Amino acid sequence: MRVLAKTAYLLTTAALMSFGAVHMTSANEELMKMAENPKDWVMQTGDYANTRFSKLNQITKDNVKNLQVKWSFSTGVLRGHEGGPLIIGDVMYVHAPFPNTVYALDLNNDGKILWKYEPKQDPNVIGIMCCDTVNRGVAYGDGKIILNQADTTVVALDAKTGKVVWSVKNGEQTDGGKGESGTSAPVVVKDKVLVGVSGAEFGVRGWLAAYNLADGKLAWKAYSEGPDADTLIDPEKTTHLGKPVGKDSGTNTWEGEQWKTGGGTTWGWYSYDPKLNLVYYGTGNPSTWNPVQRPGDNRWSMTIMARDADTGVAKWLYQMTPHDEWDFDGVNEMILVDGMEVNGAKHDVLVHFDRNGFAYTMDRASGELLVAKKYDPAVNWATEVNMDPSSDQYGRPQVVAKYSTQANGEDTNSTGICPAALGTKDQQPAAYSPKTGLFYVPTNHVCMDYEPYKVSYTAGQPYVGATVSMYPPPGEDHMGNFIAWDAAKGEIVWSKPEKFSVWSGALATDGDVVFYGTLEGYIKAVDHDGNELYKFKTPSGIIGNITAYEHGGKQYIAVLSGVGGWAGIGLAGGLLSPENAAAWHGAVDQGREQGDETAVVGTAGLGAVGGYAALADYTTLGGQLTVFGLPD
């Protein structure tokens, strides 16, 4: 009783901490109105529903073939460029990877730099950023530009001047000493800034934090694992597949105190339903990658979370990959669609394309699981997700023993697992078109070998414990597909193969065009049947997200190019060099030998260096914004 009373007190305290701004005009009302203006692009994902749909229609399936480069801008940084620019009125806000420079460009004056912000950060942070020094973009709210820096500092800049309004440490340390880093794009919801953390490969226990937009003070903080007071879980009211989760669900599926270094970081995308006042996001892999060392389901890693935006208290949870054995982080975007008919009934849904290769359609009010189907036919680690509510396996993937790294054990190389650790899709966000009712999804078509081994935890040091190699599925020579998906039926409508993974965010438009980018550097436009209408090769590989805006009465398409991210880490991190690859292993593998030079390079970068080695034949490092438009 005393424990429950303490939990109730702390949950109430979380609510009171956020009470102070009740009478303020909420920033999300401003943002919702701004997002209704298709001329601007005010959030990284386009809107709170994360649809990445633009209502602009000057560029159509008939004239998109005439697109031409209108202007470009160098960010001055040669690493992976994820995310995209914000466009608010006559100003474009462009971000860059570490050192996380932010530029405000005047669209009325040839992209003149109105201001530039370049934070001073400890360079040691670079070494603890798992999969390149990426940043997924800035947020806007109440006249402020919000940046989540690599060192976990969250800073609010005056949108007009670039001057710092407030700054706060989201992590415990800003020198990389705890392995914490910041890569995700913040989101402004009501009077708060929501931001997560990266670092599960260093044993960082994940969290989502809410800071007051006005002054940066902490409003609430919800951990992915831990006691109910840490996770902001109500044991009697928070549900998992319709049932209360019970007391301390964030610790009782862990051995001892392993939850304290349990991972479950929160570096993906966040969506928001204003009617339900719920924020949705996913948590990442449990630490370590060696499943033998952490028995149990490891809750609440690999979980979709629905939390009250004011208090952070969880309404419902769904763990997609209990006791993860493959690094299938659950952080990918949650796309919200109203009135979708599923199995004869209409639901306001959440659609999520998970790294594990299953696409989930859920009732976003109740957390009811409606659809869970594979969105790449190569997926083989599980046969299905059990959909029988009366079964003790309800909601759980049915793991194939051959591909279970837990069952095969430490120091055993499990081969032919599909997808690879980087998933059927990583964070690169999909798009949804209300015109077709379909989702347009950039995917990876990659398999792996996975050998777990024992590691020990030291704060700020890698805590991985697996050797991975990656390659296309057997008998195939392409590593990516761009697909159209029917989330009501759980079916692929069409699939367009690409040589490498499609690592860019997609964009659907009212002009009946869908855009995406490729790792070789092409921006491509297709129609609703997947027919290619246009392509142009930018200076470097595209891992950024395509953006649309209108200025001066004309529609434009913008994209950042700069190869990198996990798939491009061989190029971005220089790991194709045997010496550099060996140094990477020396830092990560805790003394484990990795074989000859070919094996050392092939398994560097958590397996991506070898898998994407051929990418070096098609592109090189860059850092550029390219803007396209129709001829004058």
pLDDT of 555 higher than 50: yes
User: Coil, strand, or helix at residue 408?
Assistant: helix
Look-up of token digits 């862990």: 254
The single-letter DSSP state of residue 110 is: T
pLDDT band for 2, please (50, 70, 90 cuts).
very low
Tell me the residue type at 433. S
**Rounded distance between C-alpha atoms, residue 82 and residue 84, angstroms:** 7
Alpha helices in 184-304 (DSSP H): 228-231
**Rounded distance between C-alpha atoms, residue 586 and residue 571, angstroms:** 19
Q: Over the stretch 298-310, which tens digit does the pLDDT of each residue have?
A: 999 999 999 999 9
**Distant-in-sequence, close-in-space partners of 251: CB < 8 Å, separation ≥ 6:** 225, 226, 227, 259
Task: Establish whether 285 is an annotated binding residue.
Answer: yes
The pLDDT assigned to 13 comes to: 39
The pLDDT assigned to 444 comes to: 98
The pLDDT assigned to 288 comes to: 97
pLDDT band for 10, please (50, 70, 90 cuts).
very low
Task: Please choose, from the candidates 368, 628, 95, 96, the residue with its C-alpha nearest in 3D space to the C-alpha of residue 104.
Answer: 95
Average pLDDT over residues 560-584: 96
Q: Over the stretch 274-290, which tens digit does the pLDDT of each residue have?
A: 999 999 999 999 999 99
Task: Establish whether 63 is an annotated binding residue.
Answer: no
**Rounded distance between C-alpha atoms, residue 526 and residue 460, angstroms:** 44
The pairing of strands 239-240 and 314-319 is parallel
Q: Over the stretch 230-278, which tens digit does the pLDDT of each residue have?
A: 999 999 999 999 999 999 999 999 999 999 999 999 999 999 999 999 9
Q: Are 628 and 513 in contact (CB under 8 A)?
A: no
Task: Establish whether 311 is an annotated binding residue.
Answer: no
Average pLDDT, the chain: 95
The neighbour count for residue 65, using CB atoms within 10 Å, is: 10
Q: Are 507 and 516 in contact (CB under 8 A)?
A: yes
Q: How far is CA 194 from CA 98, 143, 215, in A?
A: 21, 16, 14
Q: Are 414 and 408 in contact (CB under 8 A)?
A: yes
The neighbour count for residue 553, using CB atoms within 10 Å, is: 7
- pTM, whole model, 2 decimals? 0.95
Average pLDDT over residues 113-138: 96
User: Coil, strand, or helix at residue 363?
Assistant: strand
The pLDDT assigned to 11 comes to: 43
Query: Active site residue: 297, 327, 354, 426, which one?
Result: 327
Give me the sign of the Cα torsion angle 255, 3, 249, 258: negative
The pLDDT assigned to 30 comes to: 87
Task: Establish whether 199 is an annotated binding residue.
Answer: yes
**Rounded distance between C-alpha atoms, residue 303 and residue 285, angstroms:** 9
The pLDDT assigned to 28 comes to: 73
Task: Please choose, from the candidates 548, 525, 355, the residue with its C-alpha nearest in 3D space to the C-alpha of residue 440.
Answer: 525
327 is catalytic: yes
What is the per-residue burial (b if ≥16 Cβ within 10 Å, else e) of 368-386?
bbbbbbbbbebbbbbeebb
Task: Establish whether 136 is an annotated binding residue.
Answer: yes
Q: Over the stretch 66-107, which tens digit does the pLDDT of each residue have?
A: 999 999 999 999 999 999 999 999 999 999 999 999 999 999
Task: Put residue 126 in one of left, alpha, beta given phi > 0 → left and psi -120 to 50 → alpha.
Answer: alpha
Q: Over the stretch 488-503, which tens digit does the pLDDT of each residue have?
A: 999 999 999 999 999 9
Q: Over the stretch 360-416, which tens digit does the pLDDT of each residue have?
A: 999 999 999 999 999 999 999 999 999 999 999 999 999 999 999 999 999 999 999
Average pLDDT over residues 207-222: 98
User: Coil, strand, or helix at residue 316?
Assistant: strand
**Rounded distance between C-alpha atoms, residue 300 and residue 322, angstroms:** 9
Task: Please choose, from the candidates 625, 629, 376, the residue with its C-alpha nearest in 3D space to the C-alpha of residue 498.
Answer: 376
Say if domain 2-629 classifies as CATH 2.140.10.10. Answer: yes
What is the maximum alpha-carbon separation in the chain? 72
Q: Over the stretch 154-178, which tens digit does the pLDDT of each residue have?
A: 999 999 999 999 999 999 999 999 9
Q: Over the stretch 16-63, which tens digit does the pLDDT of each residue have?
A: 343 333 434 467 788 989 999 999 999 999 999 999 999 999 999 999
Task: Establish whether 183 is an annotated binding residue.
Answer: yes
State the Rg of the chain over Cα.
Answer: 22
Tell me the residue type at 440. Y
What percent of the chain lies above the pLDDT cut of 70?
A: 96
Task: Establish whether 201 is an annotated binding residue.
Answer: yes
The pLDDT assigned to 29 comes to: 84
